[in-house]
Amino acid sequence: MNKFLAELLNRPRQQKIAILAGAVLFLFILGYFYVYLPGDDRLNKLDDEIAGVRRDHQQKKIIANSLPRVQHVLQELDAKLKAAADQLPNSKEIPDLLSNLSAKAREAGLEIILFRPRAENYQDFYAEIPVDIVVRGGFYNAAQFFEQVGKLNRPINIDNIDLKNPKISGDRVELEISSLATTYRFLDETERKKVAEEKKAKK
């Protein structure tokens, strides 16, 4: 090592400057590739991580700020669902509802010829209960009956109204009036699961 240094010191001034410049350049290149570049990569990774954390923080902040509004919307939806549930009878109330329906027909002055519930038609969370109704009486009696049905606090749709077999009775014309009344009820949890399983099996 001492011999190398002695030879280096004995060289002309220009050679010494060139060797020194080469050594500095070598050290610079060495530092660039083994110190600066790895550090720059780490810095870039840290920048990306910081940007990701900031984005995540911003998203969570937005969610946190909107939470009261979402809770308010959920409360409104719960209230609407409860109101809808109050309008649909459960299975225990259906016989009373159907009895009330037939009573309304008699109160309107109609003779009941047929009052026959069909099989229930299951939907996602409710069941349709169709009832075949055939009555006999005057047109205005039937109109009064349908009006009273519309005033019930339970939803009942009247479809397929058919007027036939007109007969004169005293001073009025009596008709045979057939219709399909459809009411609804909520399914219980067991029934909803069964409906969901049947739909899944069909798919």
CA 4 to chain centre: 83
Distance from C-alpha of 91 to C-alpha of 103, rounded to nearest angstrom = 19
The position carrying tokens 């036939």 is 164
Of the candidates 155, 183, 185, 157, the one whose C-alpha atom is nearest the C-alpha of residue 91 is 185
> In the prediction, which pLDDT does 7 show?
62
10-residue stretch averages of pLDDT, the chain, 203 residues long: 58 66 62 55 68 78 76 73 58 72 87 88 85 89 86 82 83 85 82 80 76
> Class for domain 94-193, per CATH?
alpha beta
C-alpha dist (Å) from residue 22 to 3, 14, 33, 75: 20, 12, 16, 77
Tell me, what amino acid is at 10?
N
Q: For the whole model, what pTM was predicted?
A: 0.53
| Per-residue confidence (pLDDT) for residue 161, from 0 to 100 | 87
pLDDT at 40: 55
Q: What is the DSSP string of 152-184?
A: SSS-EEEEEEEEEEEEEETTEEEEEEEEEEEEE
pLDDT number for residue 37: 53
pLDDT of residue 65: 79
pLDDT of residue 34: 57
In the chain, domain spans = 1-87, 94-193
Q: At 114, is the secondary structure helix, strand, or coil?
A: strand
